[in-house]
């Protein structure tokens, strides 16, 4: 089985390209963002770690993650982000590998913005980097996330672009 990563910084069009691969080519695609959100709710490893780092009120009475509390902690410092990532990324990697093993396809893909930071680059055979002009990325992310330009620029500054992809798709 060939494992392909679809990566790019915020607003580059990763989801669009992943959707096209799935729809047009029939390639199963693992969405690391949505699966990380699911795992934040379901994984006991993540739950225990977040409660230990942030406090019991990071989950509400129904056991749902308080996303704004987590985001406040994450964006408060680079150290906080590193600690959360060190907790979440291994669980996502393991979940991706489990998911990939369940697929009946010669090729699977993973959509992820944090390819290097997560260590997923070591799990895949090929990397597709999706690019778009800066102003296009900013406009897309602002529209999608409902936040201002400064917040998007902060997020862009924190992301690392994969330096040596096998394929670059310019998605304008």
Domain segments of the chain: what residues?
Answer: 2-170
- At 142 the pLDDT is 92
Nearest to 120 by CA among 15, 32, 60, 43: 32
Encode pLDDT of 114-147 as tens digits: 888 889 999 999 999 999 999 999 999 999 989 8
> What mean pLDDT is predicted for residues 58-87?
90
pLDDT value, residue 172: 66
pTM summary value: 0.88
86-108 tens-digit pLDDT:
999 999 999 999 999 999 999 99
DSSP of 99-166: HHHH--SSEEEEE-S-HHHHTGGGT-SEEEEEE--HHHHHHHHHHHHT--HHHHHHHHHHPPPPSS-S
Q: Which of 14-28, 127-141, 143-157 has the weakest average pLDDT?
A: 143-157
Instruction: Please give the CATH number for the structural domain made up of 2-170.
Output: 3.40.50.300
């Amino acid at each position: 089985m060939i494992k392909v990563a679809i990566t790019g910084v915020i607003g580059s069009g990763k989801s669009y390209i992943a959707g096209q691969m799935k729809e047009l080519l029939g390639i199963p695609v693992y969405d690391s963002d949505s699966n990380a959100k699911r795992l934040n709710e379901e994984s006991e490893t993540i739950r225990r770690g977040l409660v230990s780092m942030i406090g019991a009120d990071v989950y509400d009475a129904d056991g749902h993650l308080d996303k704004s509390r987590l985001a406040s902690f994450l964006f408060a410092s680079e150290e906080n982000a590193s600690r959360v990532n060190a907790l979440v990324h291994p669980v996502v990697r393991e979940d991706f590998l489990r998911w990939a093993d369940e697929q009946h396809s010669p090729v699977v893909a993973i959509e992820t913005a944090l390819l290097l930071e997560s260590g997923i680059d070591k799990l895949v055979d090929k990397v597709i980097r999706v690019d778009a002009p800066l102003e296009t990325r900013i406009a897309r992310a602002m529209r999608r996330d409902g936040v201002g330009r400064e917040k998007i620029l902060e997020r862009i500054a924190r992301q690392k672009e994969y330096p040596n992809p096998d394929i670059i798709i310019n998605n304008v």
